[in-house]
């Protein structure tokens, strides 16, 4: 018998001073059976960074043809492709060819540096590729906020992020790799 996804609900209030974006989002996140709570919460954080009324969570880990999040335009063109982790070079080339902008968020600092040294020179030609490194403790810190039903506030200013609820607040300063 196959394991089923665990469903989480999040009421996310976003105040993004960098983009002048202020909006509330009622989100449903499905945690894949093989996904950690840390990774799921990083998906939520990344949603907040790129929030848009049409940004959507995809089948992610359940599909090799879809990123973790995307913003599709009418006619199925992909405006924004967002993946987490350390995708292989072939997947990144495919993503850069299909989408206007591609963002990769790494969250395991030690292995991310090794991964980036291996793929950097092969991907340098893609001007639409952005690689962002989240600090190594980001997932563990965000996991403290995880509840089946969450009410969260996210503030973004000068490329720094604060995500919290009424008990905890997590401060994240991403590093731009590309």
Distance CA 60, CA 56 (A): 11
- For residues 158-169, one letter each, b for 16 or more C-beta atoms within 10 angstroms of the residue's C-beta and e for the rest, the string is eeebebbeeeee
Residue 12 and residue 48 in contact, taking contact as beta carbons nearer than 8 Å = yes
Residue 38 and residue 178 in contact, taking contact as beta carbons nearer than 8 Å = no
Structurally, at CATH architecture level, domain 34-145+172-176 sits in: Roll (3.10)
10: closest CA among 105, 146, 155? 146
Range in 30-44, 54-68, 76-90, 95-109 with the lowest mean pLDDT: 54-68
pLDDT number for residue 52: 94
pLDDT exceeds 80 at position 12: yes
Secondary structure (DSSP) of 120-177: HHHHTT-TTEEEEEPPTTHHHHHHTT--SEEEEEEEEETTEEEEE-SS-EEEE--EE-
pTM for this predicted structure? 0.90
DSSP type of residue 21:
E
Distance CA 144, CA 41 (A): 9
pLDDT number for residue 64: 67
Q: Provide the residue ranges of all domains of the chain, joining segments of one domain with +.
A: 34-145+172-176
Residues 41-65 have pLDDT tens digits of 999 999 999 999 999 988 765 566 7
Residue whose entry in the numeric block shows the structure tokens 């992610």 = 60
pLDDT bracket for residue 38 (50, 70, 90): very high
Angle of the 109-123 helix axis to the 89-98 helix axis, nearest 10 = 60
Distance CA 164, CA 178 (A): 28
Residue 48 and residue 170 in contact, taking contact as beta carbons nearer than 8 Å = no
Residues 100-129 have pLDDT tens digits of 999 999 988 778 888 888 888 888 888 999
Distance CA 178, CA 176 (A): 6
Pairing state of beta strands 69-72 and 78-84?
Answer: antiparallel
Rounded average pLDDT over 74-78? 86
Rounded average pLDDT over 67-89? 90
């Amino acid at each position: 018998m196959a394991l089923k996804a665990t469903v989480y609900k999040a009421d996310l209030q976003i105040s993004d001073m960098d983009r002048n974006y202020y909006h509330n989002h009622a989100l449903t996140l499905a945690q894949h059976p093989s996904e950690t709570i840390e990774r799921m919460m990083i998906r939520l954080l990344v949603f907040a960074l790129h929030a848009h009324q049409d940004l959507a969570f995809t089948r992610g880990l359940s599909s090799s043809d879809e990123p973790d999040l995307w913003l599709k335009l009418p006619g199925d063109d992909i405006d924004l492709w967002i993946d987490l982790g350390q995708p292989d070079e072939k997947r990144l080339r495919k993503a850069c060819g299909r989408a206007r902008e591609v963002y990769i968020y790494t969250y395991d600092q030690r292995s991310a540096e090794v991964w980036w040294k291996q793929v950097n020179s092969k991907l340098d030609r893609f001007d639409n590729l952005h690689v962002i490194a989240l600090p190594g403790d980001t997932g563990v810190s965000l996991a403290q906020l995880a509840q089946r039903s969450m009410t969260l506030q996210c503030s973004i200013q000068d490329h720094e992020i604060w995500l919290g609820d009424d008990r905890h607040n997590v401060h994240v300063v991403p590093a731009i790799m590309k």
